[in-house]
Amino acid sequence: MVINQILKNYIWELFIPKGKAICLSNKYFYITMIINDLKGTVQLSNGVSMPCFGLGVFKTQEGSEVENAVKWALEAGYRHIDTAAIYRNERGVGNAVRVSGIPRNELFITTKLWNDNQRNDTVMAGFEESLGLLQTDYIDLYLIHWPVKGKFTATWKVMEDIYRSGRVRAIGVSNFLQHHLEDLFRIADIKPMVNQVECHPYLVQQQLIDFCHAHHMVYEAWSPIMRGKVNDIPLLEELSDKYHKSQVQIVLRWDLQKGIVTIPKSVHQERIRHNADIFDFELSAEDMDLIDKLDKNHHFGAHPDNFTF
């Protein structure tokens, strides 16, 4: 089945051969996201395969809470875990991965450089600390967590050095808007492979999505279920009844069908399983459009131009 869609200034084609493989293409970029199951991946610009669905561990407590969350996710079939230095739970993530028995090369671990390391010019030290806490020889994806004004371009040059060292498989950014990315491109030898941003039905930022895809960057959503507030949206309740899926599942499926990697957070075993039960249905083009139209340009988290931490 071939469905032609016009998104802003780009013409994309959505192919779903025998079910669940989504291919998005325009004259600038071609991206394939396989969404058959939890092991489905999207290919980054350097050829690395990134699982399109993962577990986020923001505000998950170090120790048994994060270790259990990662354990339950891996048991449920997740292969992508997203943490950050500022979450202060990298050691717990590393512990859970180490005892899981799953070969390291079958897992995808993301972590992020915190802002203080940018301000203090200790980017390499921040990376070394995260690598040690995670108890691994390499990190799959290393991100600049926020675009610290006056610092993020210099930080990116160190990120490129880390990438060239072979101790990360991919590098990218988080919370970067188009003007931040344009500033970065002016000095970059290696473009970011991923941009992880707040993304949900009230904050779609389609122009930013299109810009990232046009520049070979995978778009990744944090806070995809709006801190649980997706359960308060009448349209999503209607779609829940229509598809016999929860509002959370509807939104996570919407992410994937838009070609967006998504990393919902939970510390409850049943919810971790429930979040991932989204591979046995497909939202219609009309319903995808209805969800897009919920956009209010509303941030629940900090704005990338006005953060104070």
* Residues carrying an active site annotation: 87
State how far the Cα of 281 lies from the Cα of 276, in Å rounded to an integer.
Answer: 12
Range list of β-strands (E), the chain: 2-7, 10-15, 21-25, 30-34, 41-43, 49-51, 55-56, 80-82, 108-113, 139-144, 168-174, 194-198, 218-222, 261-262
State how far the Cα of 242 lies from the Cα of 184, in Å rounded to an integer.
Answer: 44
Exposure letters 209-220 (e unless 16+ CB within 10 A, then b): bbbbbebbbbbb
Amino acid at 61: Q
**In the chain, helix, strand, coil percent, each to 5?**
40, 20, 40
Which residues are registered as beta bridge partners of 200?
A: 203
The span from the first CA to the last CA of the chain, in angstroms, equals 47
Nearest to 200 by CA among 168, 167, 242, 248: 248
Residue 231 in tokens: 């359960």
> What count of other Cβ atoms lies within 10 Å of the Cβ of residue 252?
26
Range list of β-strands (E), 9-148: 10-15, 21-25, 30-34, 41-43, 49-51, 55-56, 80-82, 108-113, 139-144
Nearest to 155 by CA among 195, 115, 200: 115
Phi, psi of 165 (to 5 degrees): -70, -15
